[in-house]
Structures are given as structure tokens and as C-alpha cells.
Amino acid sequence: MTEAQLSTREIDKLLTVFKGKRRKSDQYADVSSLDLNRPAPLPKGIFETLQVRHEQAARSMRVGLREVLRRDLGVRLVQLELDRFASFKEGLADPSCGFVVEMLPLRQPGYLVLDYPFVFAALDRILGGQGSMEGEARELTSTETSVLTELLSVIINEQATVWSRWLKLTPRVLRSTSVPRFFREARADDPVLVATYAMGDFADGAQLRFALPLPGLEPHLQCAPKQEHEGTRTLPVSRDAVLHALQDVTLNLSVRLGGAALSVNDVLELALGDVLVLDSSPSRPIQLLVEGLPRFDGWLHRQGAHLVFRVGTELEATSDEASPKETELCR
């Protein structure tokens, strides 16, 4: 039997397989592009933590701005991104409603930029109007900036709170400017963390941005979060802080008119027009359930085309018996 002989080309192909070489088309399949204009990423887990803390800041800003503007509104985090300071400035409109914000003990300030529709709506609302967004983009007067002082304090204080896990920052508005190129305190290639928030309901669709240079913060981000003592116990969270964070959580409420116990056979034989006798009396109050748990006794009333529940007696959390405390909400 004649043995088949391999050609030189076939031998080269076999050696290529054993040496682990890849086809030319696959040679660069796992190489990702490198954008030298983008700053280096933050340490693993830090960016995700900052994302959560900026989302918490959005909820807190909503509460604070609601008190300043005396009306309900929405605030949500749209984007959190790392950028170069030069790129951040180039992305701003000219003119822009900008503020340079001192963030002691950091040497470099932060930069707050508000969309003009939100600025004009806030000015109109604070001065007694309905919140008109009409106005021409321009440099704000000293009087207008003064009117916005409380609103600006809410925003920059919440931005300082974002970093309280690593470093206590004291914010203060240094000056306002409508020309982005006058943001000169940071170097062009300095990395900045830019948080963009969008408004809802009030000045719907308007945005605000806060940029903070990272050179003074990066050493703190490399360290473990501050703790009350040298042990592993973290700082306690106050009851007010918990309630503040939970106040916008939606709860399901229902009213229990009464119940009945029926056998499976009785349920299967139910037909249209049958009457069930409930275990409650028309003269006794009915219960308001919060997330399925009895919370209040009260009564049903009619208001126009709707049924309404009038809260009467608050029930103890550990018992179905009513407490003597009266919590009448409406008359």
C-alpha cells in the first residue's frame, strides 16, 4: 500500500494549528479601540456606587426644590459620565446659565449649568407666578442670581452629599457666567465627572448638569469609605434620613368591606344574583389596608361620582384592635 505524502504547504498548515496561530482575519478580533480623549475609568465598583448616589441625589433634589418652588416636580438622573474638561465645555451652548461652585477642601471648583427654561420658570415661580419658561438666553442679573440662591443651594448641597462617603465637601457659589469658555479653573485635559438631570412636570424636559473635576477626589476614591471608628461598623443612618429616602415610595391601599367562609362546593355553585352574607355589619367601620395589612378603621362616603374612604381610628401595628387615637383626614 502506497503511503500518502504531505506537501510542504500541508505541513505548514499543520504546524500553524499546533503553534496556536490564528487566521489573519481573526488576528485582531479581541482588540478594542482606545479613545485617548476619554479619561481613564474609575476603580472597579466606584462608578456604580457613584451612579446610585447620584440617583439618590435626584430624589433629594426633588424634595428640596418642591419646597423652594411650592409645587410638585420630578427630577431624575439621565446620565453620569466621565469626560475631559475641554470636551465638557465644548458641549455647552453659548450662552449658558453657568455657575462656578467652590467645593472646599478641593482646590478646583465644580460647575453647575442650568437650562434657561428651568431658570426662567423658577424665577417666575419664586416671584409669585405660575412658572413661565419664556425668556431670552442671556447673562443673569445680580438680582436674579440672588432670587435663585435657595434653589442653587439645594442643588449644590445634594452634589456635595454624593461625595460624603469619602470626603466632606462644603459648596458655595462663587460666580455666575453665561460664557462657557470663562470656566477656566480646571485644565483642559483634567477628567471631570458630569451628572445630567432632567426635570419633569415643572419645566418639563429641561436639564441641569453638574461637573466636578476628579484630580482632587481620586486619592480619596482609592481608599475605603470613611467610618465612625476604626472597626468595620459604618456610620448609623438616622430615622429622618430613612423617612426622607422612602417618602416617594408608592404603597398599595385597599378597603376591606368584609369576608365570608364558603366551602369549595358552595363556591362552585355560585351563580349570577346570589347573595353572600359578609362577617361585617353596616353599622361597624370598615378597614383600610396598607400593603395588605390593616392600618385604619373608617367609613365609605360618596363624593360626586366616586366612593371615598374617611379615615377614623388608627389600628395598632401589632394588633387588629383599634387604638383610641383619632386621625380624621377629611370632613
Domain of residue 218, CATH code = 3.40.1550.10
Reference 173, options 97, 105, 116, 102; nearest CA is 102
Distance CA 94, CA 80 (A): 22
Q: What is the pLDDT of residue 325?
A: 43
Residue 194's pLDDT is what? 97
pLDDT at 122: 96
Residue 303 lies in a domain: yes
Give pLDDT tens digits for 259-305.
888 899 888 988 998 888 888 887 788 888 888 888 888 888 888 88
> What is the tens place of the pLDDT at every residue in 86-127?
999 999 999 999 999 999 999 999 999 999 999 999 999 999
| Mean residue pLDDT across the chain | 83
Query: 113 and 212: one domain?
Result: yes
Task: Tell me what pLDDT residue 155 has.
Answer: 97
> What pLDDT is recorded for position 249?
77
Are 77 and 192 members of one domain? Answer: yes
**Domain co-membership, 200 together with 322:** no
Tens-place pLDDT, residues 117-137 = 999 999 999 999 999 999 999
The tens digit of pLDDT for each residue in 192-204 reads 999 999 999 999 9
Average pLDDT over residues 18-34: 53
Cell of 218: 481620586
- Who has greater pLDDT, 76 or 316? 76
What's the pLDDT score for residue 18? 58
- What average pLDDT does the segment 37-42 reach? 71
Does one domain contain both 179 and 79? yes
Task: Please check whether residues 210 and 255 belong to one and the same domain.
Answer: no
Domain count, the chain: 2
Answer whether residue 36 shows pLDDT above 80. no
In a domain, 269, yes or no: no
Quickly state the pLDDT bin for 140 (edges 50, 70, 90). Answer: very high
Distance CA 98, CA 90 (A): 13
Q: Residue 326's pLDDT is what?
A: 42
Residue 24 has pLDDT above 70, yes or no: no
Residue 63 and residue 200 in one domain: yes
Domain range spanning residue 298? 251-259+281-331
Residue 6 lies in a domain: no
Q: Residue range 200-224: average pLDDT?
A: 88
Give Rg (Cα) of the chain.
31
Per-residue pLDDT, 14: 65
What is the b/e burial string over 210-232, where b = at least 16 CB atoms within 10 angstroms of the residue's CB? bbbbbebbeeebeeeeeeeeeee
Which pLDDT belongs to residue 110? 96
172 plus 93 within the same structural domain: yes
Chain segment 179-191, per-residue pLDDT in tens: 998 888 888 999 9
**Do residue 124 and residue 203 come from a single domain?**
yes
- Whether residues 151 and 296 share a domain: the answer is no
Q: Does one domain contain both 255 and 207?
A: no
What is the reported pLDDT for 328?
42
Stronger pLDDT, 307 or 112, i.e. the higher one: 112
Higher pLDDT, 264 or 10: 264
Q: Specify if 28 maps to a domain.
A: no
Please count the CA atoms within 13 angstroms of the CA of 122 that sit on its side-chain side. 26
User: Can you give the pLDDT at residue 288?
Assistant: 87
Q: What is the pLDDT of residue 229?
A: 43
pLDDT of residue 319: 44
Q: 315 lies in a domain?
A: yes
Residue 25 lies in a domain: no
Among candidate residues 225, 240, 270, the one where a domain is terminated:
225
pLDDT at residue 6, as a whole number: 66
Q: How far apart are CA 64 and CA 58, in angstroms?
A: 10
pLDDT of residue 232 exceeding 90, the answer is no
Q: Are residues 202 and 67 part of one domain? A: yes
Distances (CA, A) of 176 to 68, 113, 120, 325: 20, 10, 15, 52
Nearest to 166 by CA among 220, 106, 102, 228: 220
Domain match, 190 and 59 both:
yes
Tell me, yes or no, whether 236 lies in a domain: no
162 falls within a domain? yes
